[in-house]
């Protein structure tokens, strides 16, 4: 708990305490009135909804105060009100000042794919030596990052923060709030092309994490990504550590072998040390994300023997590569949180080699791909047909191009099924699935394919 009072928060944000006692302590920071609890400070943000409409709701649920930029009526006299010019700016300013005062080291993680699992793995490894604050869930934007920072207790030594973006300048602003001591870039891939136009545009936006890093910061980059290699060559303000499979990567995986449902084995090269690992991943991409986490641990001076316990106790991230066991021996690989061409190709190739019963790929639209979206979906269909999948189930209008691509590449038309939305596909799957089947579910977040997972779990979980 930070232990800040309303008076201190008003000063730190440049606001005025209009009502309420300045010595009242704040126990938590929220922007959703449904999460209000005793001691909470509610930030009335203007996003899709105007948060000022929910100040009374937050008060009635126990919040002690609200940060507002407009007048709000109908409040009790003892309810605190901090008036600022801009509530989002106040939230970000408060987080930046609290973080600066804490003197925590910051690990900032960005990239087109793998941010969340890299964050989770990194936090787990660093906990072997440090108290760690990490951003929860997908709190990786202009609101989520400051809220994550304000959740600190004050005893943490390292903050592991995911930094996402959907347009240029967003990562730059996040680094103003939390300038990284270690900046991680996982990959440059065709994600959000609708807003950036090219991979070069995406790379420029991701490079903002280096430009906003603290002087002398360390960069941790995927050495197998040629765009990141070029980026590293042009960055002279700090030192770069590469991870990947190349011989010049300081942290790398060698002799990688798929073991079917038992996971993946490989030799981990960590500085000059080596150990053989077996991890419960089915998707090879997760190995790369684990290497990134190991590289970060290396920058903090951890030795291989110090991180080994964590390497055998890695967290699973909900809807991001979880293997679920349903009745009848049905295996459900839940990767439903999001999708893009690079991540989809990786999981199709990795899981396509798994020896099991009928293999069924349930794939949804990939969003925000710009004018080339049809080609990306057709190519994904080709990959389905070429990597050993027996059936393809598509969800959404764009994903119908996957169905066309799969048939072009040789998957029989009678093995391809298309649906407009997730629940229709889920109801059909309940009737179609047989004991021993292996099912992959993956699609962009806007398709809500997690509803397929939840329905199948409810109906078929052992």
Task: Please tell me the class of the 322-460 domain.
Answer: alpha beta
Residue 461 pLDDT: 62
CATH of 103-311, one of 3.40.1190.10, 2.40.50.140, 2.40.37.10, 3.40.50.880: 3.40.1190.10
Closest alpha carbon to 314 in 334, 292, 336, 330: 292
DSSP 315: P
**pLDDT tens digits in sequence order for the chain, 462 residues long:** 578 999 999 999 999 999 999 999 999 999 999 999 999 999 999 988 899 999 999 999 999 999 999 999 999 999 999 999 999 999 999 999 999 999 899 999 999 999 999 999 999 999 999 999 999 988 999 999 999 999 999 899 999 999 999 889 999 999 999 999 999 999 999 888 888 889 999 999 999 999 999 999 999 999 999 999 999 999 988 899 999 999 999 999 999 999 999 999 999 999 889 999 999 999 999 999 999 999 999 999 999 999 999 999 999 888 999 999 999 999 999 999 999 999 999 999 999 988 899 999 999 999 999 999 999 999 999 999 999 999 999 999 999 999 999 999 999 999 999 999 999 999 999 999 999 999 999 999 999 999 999 999 988 764
Coil, helix or strand at residue 383: helix
* pLDDT for residue 344: 97
87 closest CA partner among 142, 137, 126: 142
CATH code for the domain defined by 6-86: 3.40.1390.10
- Centre a 10 Å sphere on the Cβ of residue 195 and count the other Cβ atoms it contains: 15
CA distances from 140 to 148, 203, 223 (A): 9, 18, 24
The tokens for 177 are: 């709030």
**Helix, strand, coil shares, percent, the chain, to 5:** 40, 25, 40
Q: What angle do CA 298, 100, 85 make, to 5 degrees?
A: 135
Q: Which of 94, 90, 100 is nearest to 214 (CA)?
A: 100
Residue 316: per-residue pLDDT: 86
Residue 166's pLDDT is 86
Name the segment(s) of the chain with CATH classification 3.40.1190.10.
Answer: 103-311
Helix (H/G/I), strand (E/B), else coil: 134: strand
Range(s) within the chain of domains with CATH label 3.90.190.20 = 322-460
Cα–Cα–Cα angle for 202, 204, 205, nearest 5°?
Answer: 65
DSSP string, 230-258: HHHHT--SSEEEEEESSTT-SEEEEEEEE
Distances (CA, A) of 402 to 121, 279, 283: 32, 31, 21
User: What backbone torsions phi and psi does residue 317 show, to the nearest 5 degrees?
Assistant: -105, 125
Kindly give, in sequence order, each residue whose CB lies less than 8 Å from that of residue 94, ignoring residues fewer than 6 positions away: 9, 12, 13, 29, 146, 150
Nearest to 182 by CA among 158, 210, 218: 218
Q: What angle do CA 43, 47, 49 make, to 5 degrees?
A: 90
Q: What is the pLDDT of residue 1?
A: 52
Contact 112, 199 (CB under 8 A): no
In the block, which residue shows the tokens 């684990």?
290
All CATH 3.40.1390.10 domain ranges of the chain, comma separated, are: 6-86
Asked if residues 134 and 160 have their Cβ atoms less than 8 Å apart, the reply is: yes
> What is the pTM for the complete model shown?
0.94
pLDDT value of position 460: 73
Q: For residues 253 and 216, is the Cβ–Cβ distance under 8 A? A: no
- Token pair recorded at residue 423: 């629940």
């Amino acid at each position: 708990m930070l232990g800040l009072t309303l008076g201190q928060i008003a000063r730190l944000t440049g606001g005025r305490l209009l009502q309420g006692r300045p010595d009242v302590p704040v126990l938590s920071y929220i922007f959703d009135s449904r999460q209000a609890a005793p001691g909470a400070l509610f930030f009335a943000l203007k996003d899709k909804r105007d948060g000022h409409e929910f100040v009374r709701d937050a008060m009635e649920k126990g919040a002690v105060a609200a940060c507002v930029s407009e007048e709000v009526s109908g409040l009790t006299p003892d309810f605190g009100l901090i008036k600022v010019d801009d509530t989002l700016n106040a939230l970000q300013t408060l987080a930046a000042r609290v973080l600066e005062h804490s003197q925590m080291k910051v690990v900032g993680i960005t990239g087109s794919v793998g941010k969340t699992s890299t964050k989770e793995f990194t936090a787990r490894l660093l906990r072997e030596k440090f108290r760690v604050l990490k951003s929860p869930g997908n709190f990786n934007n202009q609101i989520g990052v400051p809220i994550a920072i304000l959740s600190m207790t004050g005893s943490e030594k390292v903050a592991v923060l995911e930094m996402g973006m959907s347009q240029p300048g967003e990562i730059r602003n996040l680094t103003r709030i939390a300038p990284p001591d270690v900046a991680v870039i996982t990959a440059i891939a065709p994600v959000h092309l609708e807003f950036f136009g090219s991979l070069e545009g995406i790379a420029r936006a991701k490079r903002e994490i280096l430009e906003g890093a603290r002087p002398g910061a360390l960069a941790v980059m995927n050495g197998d990504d040629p765009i990141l290699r070029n980026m590293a060559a042009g960055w002279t303000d700090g030192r770069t550590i590469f991870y990947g499979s190349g011989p010049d990567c300081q942290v790398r995986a060698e002799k990688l072998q798929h073991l079917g449902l038992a996971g993946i084995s490989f030799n981990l090269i960590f500085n000059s040390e080596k150990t053989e690992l077996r991890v419960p991943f089915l998707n090879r991409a997760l190995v790369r994300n684990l290497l990134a986490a190991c590289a970060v641990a290396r920058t903090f001076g951890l030795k291989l023997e110090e991180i080994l316990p964590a390497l055998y106790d890695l967290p699973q991230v909900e809807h991001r590569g979880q293997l679920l066991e349903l009745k009848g021996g049905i295996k459900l690989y839940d990767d439903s949180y999001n999708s893009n061409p690079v991540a989809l190709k990786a999981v199709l190739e990795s899981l396509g080699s798994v020896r099991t019963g009928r293999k069924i790929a349930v794939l949804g639209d990939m969003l925000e791909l710009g004018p080339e979206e049809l080609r990306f979906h057709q190519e994904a269909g080709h990959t389905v047909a070429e990597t050993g999948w027996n059936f393809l189930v598509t969800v959404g209008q764009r994903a119908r191009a996957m169905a066309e691509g799969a048939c072009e590449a040789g998957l029989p038309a009678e093995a391809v099924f298309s649906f407009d939305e997730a629940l229709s596909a889920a109801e059909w799957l309940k009737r179609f699935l047989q004991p021993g089947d292996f099912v992959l579910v993956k699609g962009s977040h806007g398709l809500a394919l997690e509803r397929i997972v939840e329905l199948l779990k409810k109906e078929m979980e052992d």
